[in-house]
């Protein structure tokens, strides 16, 4: 079996070889020529896989080490007997960590209490559910919007988008990018969306760039229709809108899901897919260990009761560091994604000397408690 894998997918080199001959290339070097002789592709979202790149190839399976599939022409693949698989939920906890810590940073910047705020979550799948739970732990009122789920489940836990536009102080998007169907999400947040806001909410997009119209968001920020914005996913990546970059509070290079844990999960799921698809019966599948952070203990003894929760969260990850790097060097968008440093999720850290209330909250979020 011949496998072509994105060289920037971690925890893969040295273990994918258990299935065959593996070639590693940067994602932007996947071309018709480099792809054609391979049976399996292990990819990220850098290249769009359609007829132009797949026609005449030996490819039988595309494993995307991501949760989305808008970088795959699924119709072409299905018409040409090319299977495709994603890694649903692999980085849900990573995106939740990104959103939660970003909200904490915005509360510090704009001097508000989270318990006084309502968050509207648009898209309540693997990621949205984790974000909802974290926001509840932080004491926020949570509104859920997911029309496809609401239709299937007929549940009163969901609200319509108009309710979120009317009541939410923070609106965070966690939908796939779709242009067809009954509930398309392409430019879901457009000029009309922003013009109908009752409050001046903070907008967060860590789903797909085109779910939020970048032009409409720029206009809303300039007109004061929104308080601020946190943007991880952009239209036209890596050639992002520099005007929007300057306007938003936190700007990152599509790395919300890039925790080491999320990447490890995605690699594991891709390897499991190959094993199952080709009926290789590898048991157990070889996997590499996740690298531990240099300091795994978070000592909160020096912080006041009011500071402890925020300090613990921001110790695990501070999005402002990634934002500063991108704002300083936006031309390095792809480089920042491809050379992302180690980031571990809450479970990698042990909390010491937390007060009783903080101890309960951080444990619910996933930290270990000593």
Is residue 124 a contact partner of residue 144, using CB atoms and an 8 Å limit? Answer: yes
Residue 256 and residue 94: Cα distance in Å, rounded? 6
Catalytic residue among 8, 208, 343, 344: 208
CA 357 to chain centre: 29
Which of 175, 323, 333, 161 minimizes the C-alpha distance to 240? 333
Token pair, residue 16, equals 């994918």
Catalytic residue among 51, 167, 215, 237: 237
Token pair, residue 132, equals 């909802």
Whether 75 sits among the annotated catalytic residues: the reply is: no
Residue 202 and residue 188: Cα distance in Å, rounded? 16
As to burial, measured by CB atoms within 10 angstroms (0-12 exposed, 13-18 middle, 19+ buried), residue 343 is buried
Which residues touch 241 (CB under 8 Å, ≥6 apart)?
214, 215, 218, 234, 235
First CA to last CA across the chain, in angstroms?
48
Count Cα atoms within 13 angstroms, Cβ side, for 232. 24
Whether 71 sits among the annotated catalytic residues: the reply is: no
Count Cα atoms within 13 angstroms, Cβ side, for 86. 14
Which residues touch 347 (CB under 8 Å, ≥6 apart)?
261, 366, 367, 368
Catalytic residue among 71, 254, 337, 344: 254
Whether 113 sits among the annotated catalytic residues: the reply is: no
Catalytic residues: 208, 237, 254
């Amino acid at each position: 079996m011949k496998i072509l894998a994105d060289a920037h997918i971690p925890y893969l080199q040295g273990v994918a070889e258990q299935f065959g001959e593996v070639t590693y290339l940067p994602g932007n070097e996947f071309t018709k020529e480099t792809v054609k002789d391979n049976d399996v592709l292990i990819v990220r979202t850098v290249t769009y896989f359609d007829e132009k790149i797949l026609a005449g190839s030996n490819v039988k399976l595309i494993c995307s080490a991501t949760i989305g599939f808008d970088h795959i022409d699924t119709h072409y693949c299905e018409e040409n007997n090319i299977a495709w698989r994603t890694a649903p939920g692999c980085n849900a906890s990573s995106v939740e960590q990104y959103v939660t810590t970003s909200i904490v940073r915005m509360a510090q910047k704009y001097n508000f209490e989270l318990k006084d705020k309502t968050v509207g979550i648009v898209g309540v799948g693997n990621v949205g559910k984790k974000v909802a739970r974290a926001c509840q732990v932080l004491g926020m009122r949570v509104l859920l919007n997911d029309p496809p789920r609401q239709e299937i489940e007929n549940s009163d836990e969901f609200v319509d988008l108009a309710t979120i536009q009317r009541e939410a102080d923070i609106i965070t998007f966690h939908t796939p990018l779709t242009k067809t169907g009954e509930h398309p999400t392409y430019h879901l947040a457009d000029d009309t969306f922003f013009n109908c806001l009752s409050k001046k909410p903070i907008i967060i997009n860590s789903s797909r760039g085109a779910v939020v119209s970048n032009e409409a968001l720029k206009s809303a920020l300039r007109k004061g229709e929104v308080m601020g914005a946190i943007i991880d996913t952009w239209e036209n990546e890596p050639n992002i809108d520099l005007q929007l970059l300057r306007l938003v509070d936190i700007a990152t290079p599509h790395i919300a899901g890039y925790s080491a844990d999320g990447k490890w999960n995605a690699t594991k799921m891709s390897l499991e897919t190959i094993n199952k698809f080709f009926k290789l019966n590898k048991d157990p599948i070889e996997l590499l260990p996740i690298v531990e952070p240099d300091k795994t203990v978070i000592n909160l003894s020096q912080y006041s009761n009011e500071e402890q929760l925020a300090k613990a969260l921001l110790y695990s990850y501070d999005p402002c560091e990634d934002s500063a790097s991108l704002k300083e060097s936006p031309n390095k968008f792809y480089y920042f994604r491809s050379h992302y440093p180690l980031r571990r999720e809450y479970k990698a850290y042990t909390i010491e000397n937390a007060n009783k209330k903080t101890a309960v909250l951080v444990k619910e979020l996933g930290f270990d408690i000593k």
